[in-house]
Amino acid sequence: MKISFPIMGNSYLAFKQLVKDIGHEPIVAPLPTARTMSLGTMYAPEFACIPFKIMLGTYLEAIEKGAEVIVASGGHGPCRAGYYGVLHQKIIQDLGYDTKIIVFDSIAKTYKEFISKLKWLLKTGQTSWWQFLKAFRPAWAKLKALDEIEILSYHVRPYEINTGETTRVYRKCLQLMDEPITPSDIKEAGEVCVQMLRNIPQDKSRKPLKIGIIGEIYVLIEPFANLDIQATLGEMGVYTERAMHLFHWIKENTKLSRHEKKVIKLAQPYLRQMIGGHGINSIGETVMFAERGFDGVIQLAPFSCIPEIVAKGILPQVSHDQEISVMTIFLDEMMGKAGMQTRLEAFVDLLLQRREHRLAEAL
């Protein structure tokens, strides 16, 4: 069967492999473009958040390429993302397609359905459970390697001597990572990519500003949604660190990591209630970045995202108490690269001035 999935950052390389390994034909939708966005915007509700629109656009483009089934992750609220699947399905049906969307909700809460959906996928792909487990390992390894490469690129970029070189090398890395199939090949390709990034000529004498990026998970991870903010900042000579990467998020959700617990505890003085999405994380991560001595924090959120609006309402107080500058950028389909660039430049200027001021005071 022809199976497609949402595009989120570079993770499509890993999912593509997983779908192939369980006996289906993967349909990788084209990476989001302006066309994806306008397709999504046309059929989505006006006030749906930008991930909903981009995903809908992606699905429609995947359907054009022949996708019969779309597999996505779900959730249990109160963030709207948990309900995407139902509404996407209804909209696609209303447009006259019979593509089916299969949503995997939390395994703990919908154990039976989770298993039966998985069973169906395996049966139609003529894959046994054993083969599935075996297929899982390389995909997992790929996801991990891709995250590592991406993070390294953000570390290297502010030091690069020839502007734009990291981005070029990073693209080559993605091509390289598309090929290997077995875990050992993946590991090797990952190491080659890391070496390629490390070999980029760098000026280590620079003292780049440090900015933490927080906010809603989809716009954090998908560069099309955030206009590639981390690369833009990197080329402006800023070191950035993002609160969330897909691999970590999966680990978090399968309780393999304790990072989130710490974050929620840090948010307690400001927000005492889980509000869905990553609202409480945004507060806690800001405190954490402040404690780690970052110069500033940028909150990325889709326009009309409920949890992030609550977080934004509280962040000024956090910023005041923790003495860290915070800028919020709400992203929507009208966002332009130039507008973003201008705001980032202003913010960076501000941070540079603040740093000089502080240094002068310290002397």
Which spans of this chain sit near another protein (rule: CB under 8 A)? 44-49, 76-80, 82-83, 85-87, 90-91, 94, 109, 270-277, 279, 303-307, 309-314, 316-317, 330
User: How near is the Cβ of 49 to another protein at its closest, in Å?
Assistant: 8
Q: Which is nearer to another protein, 52 or 247 (CB)?
A: 52
Q: Which is nearer to another protein, 245 or 278 (CB)?
A: 278
User: How near is the Cβ of 42 to another protein at its closest, in Å?
Assistant: 13
Q: Which is nearer to another protein, 65 or 90 (CB)?
A: 90
Tell how far CA 14 is from the center of its chain.
Answer: 14
Spatial distance between the Cα atoms of 6 and 317, rounded to a whole number of angstroms: 36
User: How near is the Cβ of 47 to another protein at its closest, in Å?
Assistant: 4
Q: Which is nearer to another protein, 164 or 313 (CB)?
A: 313
User: How near is the Cβ of 11 to another protein at its closest, in Å?
Assistant: 25
User: How near is the Cβ of 333 to another protein at its closest, in Å?
Assistant: 14
Spatial distance between the Cα atoms of 155 and 88, rounded to a whole number of angstroms: 37
Q: Which is nearer to another protein, 83 or 140 (CB)?
A: 83
User: How near is the Cβ of 64 to another protein at its closest, in Å?
Assistant: 22
User: How near is the Cβ of 268 to another protein at its closest, in Å?
Assistant: 10
User: How near is the Cβ of 120 to another protein at its closest, in Å?
Assistant: 16
Q: Which is nearer to another protein, 18 or 315 (CB)?
A: 315
Q: Which is nearer to another protein, 197 or 311 (CB)?
A: 311
User: Residues 268-291, buried b or exposed e (16+ Cβ, 10 A)?
Assistant: eebbeeebbbbbbbbbbbbbbbbe
Q: Which is nearer to another protein, 145 or 275 (CB)?
A: 275
Q: Which of 240, 157, 231, 239 lies closest to 201, judged by CA?
A: 157
